[in-house]
Amino acid sequence: MKGKKLFVGNLSHCVSAGEETELLRELFSTYGNVEGVNIVKGKRYGFVEMSSQSEAEQARKGLNDHEFNGCSLKVNDIRSGEQNRERGRRRH
Protein backbone atom coordinates (compact mmCIF):
# COMPACT_ATOMS: atom_id res chain seq x y z
CA MET A 1 0.00 0.00 0.00
CA LYS A 2 1.40 3.35 -1.00
CA GLY A 3 1.13 6.42 1.21
CA LYS A 4 1.73 10.13 1.24
CA LYS A 5 5.28 10.01 2.60
CA LEU A 6 8.29 9.55 0.34
CA PHE A 7 11.90 8.58 1.00
CA VAL A 8 14.32 10.93 -0.77
CA GLY A 9 17.88 9.68 -1.04
CA ASN A 10 21.18 10.72 -2.58
CA LEU A 11 21.00 14.30 -1.34
CA SER A 12 23.99 16.57 -1.78
CA HIS A 13 26.51 16.77 1.05
CA CYS A 14 27.57 20.22 -0.22
CA VAL A 15 24.37 22.05 0.76
CA SER A 16 23.20 22.78 4.32
CA ALA A 17 20.22 20.79 5.58
CA GLY A 18 18.23 24.00 6.11
CA GLU A 19 18.83 25.22 2.57
CA GLU A 20 18.18 21.80 1.10
CA THR A 21 14.92 21.49 3.06
CA GLU A 22 13.59 24.66 1.44
CA LEU A 23 14.83 23.65 -2.01
CA LEU A 24 13.17 20.23 -1.69
CA ARG A 25 9.94 21.86 -0.53
CA GLU A 26 9.96 24.08 -3.63
CA LEU A 27 10.81 21.17 -5.95
CA PHE A 28 8.15 18.81 -4.59
CA SER A 29 5.50 21.56 -4.43
CA THR A 30 5.35 21.48 -8.24
CA TYR A 31 3.52 18.14 -7.74
CA GLY A 32 1.14 19.28 -4.99
CA ASN A 33 0.94 20.49 -1.41
CA VAL A 34 3.99 19.56 0.68
CA GLU A 35 3.03 18.92 4.30
CA GLY A 36 6.57 18.41 5.55
CA VAL A 37 10.22 17.90 4.69
CA ASN A 38 12.59 16.20 7.10
CA ILE A 39 16.26 15.70 6.24
CA VAL A 40 18.06 13.33 8.58
CA LYS A 41 20.95 15.23 10.15
CA GLY A 42 24.36 13.99 9.02
CA LYS A 43 22.86 11.73 6.37
CA ARG A 44 22.23 12.12 2.65
CA TYR A 45 18.54 11.26 2.81
CA GLY A 46 15.27 12.54 4.14
CA PHE A 47 11.51 12.34 3.84
CA VAL A 48 8.88 14.44 2.09
CA GLU A 49 5.22 14.18 2.99
CA MET A 50 2.66 15.24 0.41
CA SER A 51 -0.97 16.07 1.16
CA SER A 52 -2.35 13.10 -0.80
CA GLN A 53 -1.33 9.70 -2.05
CA SER A 54 -1.88 10.72 -5.68
CA GLU A 55 0.39 13.77 -5.28
CA ALA A 56 3.07 11.58 -3.70
CA GLU A 57 2.85 9.12 -6.59
CA GLN A 58 3.14 11.94 -9.15
CA ALA A 59 6.16 13.37 -7.32
CA ARG A 60 7.81 9.95 -7.07
CA LYS A 61 7.39 9.32 -10.79
CA GLY A 62 8.47 12.82 -11.77
CA LEU A 63 11.44 13.26 -9.44
CA ASN A 64 13.10 9.84 -9.19
CA ASP A 65 16.52 10.19 -10.88
CA HIS A 66 15.97 13.98 -11.14
CA GLU A 67 19.19 16.02 -11.04
CA PHE A 68 19.19 18.11 -7.83
CA ASN A 69 22.19 20.01 -6.41
CA GLY A 70 24.54 17.93 -8.54
CA CYS A 71 23.09 14.57 -7.45
CA SER A 72 20.54 12.22 -8.97
CA LEU A 73 17.67 11.95 -6.45
CA LYS A 74 16.28 8.56 -5.45
CA VAL A 75 12.60 8.91 -4.57
CA ASN A 76 10.72 5.87 -3.25
CA ASP A 77 7.56 5.04 -1.37
CA ILE A 78 7.85 4.43 2.36
CA ARG A 79 6.97 0.87 3.28
CA SER A 80 4.32 0.42 5.94
CA GLY A 81 5.29 -1.00 9.33
CA GLU A 82 3.56 -4.24 8.45
CA GLN A 83 5.61 -4.65 5.28
CA ASN A 84 8.82 -3.99 7.23
CA ARG A 85 7.89 -6.61 9.85
CA GLU A 86 7.17 -9.15 7.13
CA ARG A 87 10.47 -8.41 5.44
CA GLY A 88 12.29 -8.79 8.77
CA ARG A 89 10.74 -12.21 9.38
CA ARG A 90 12.00 -13.50 6.05
CA ARG A 91 15.58 -12.64 6.92
CA HIS A 92 15.69 -14.98 9.92
Domain boundaries, the chain: 5-91
Contact 57, 2 (CB under 8 A): yes
What is the value of pTM for the model shown? 0.82
Cross-strand bridge partners of residue 78:
none
User: Mean pLDDT across the stretch 19-41?
Assistant: 95
Q: Is the pLDDT of residue 22 over 80?
A: yes
- The DSSP bridge pattern shows strands 67-68 and 71-72 to be antiparallel
Q: Is 5-91 a CATH 3.30.70.330 domain?
A: yes
The answer to whether the Cα torsion of 1, 75, 10, 40 is positive or negative is negative
Model confidence pLDDT, tens digit, residues 52-81: 999 999 999 999 999 999 999 999 998 765
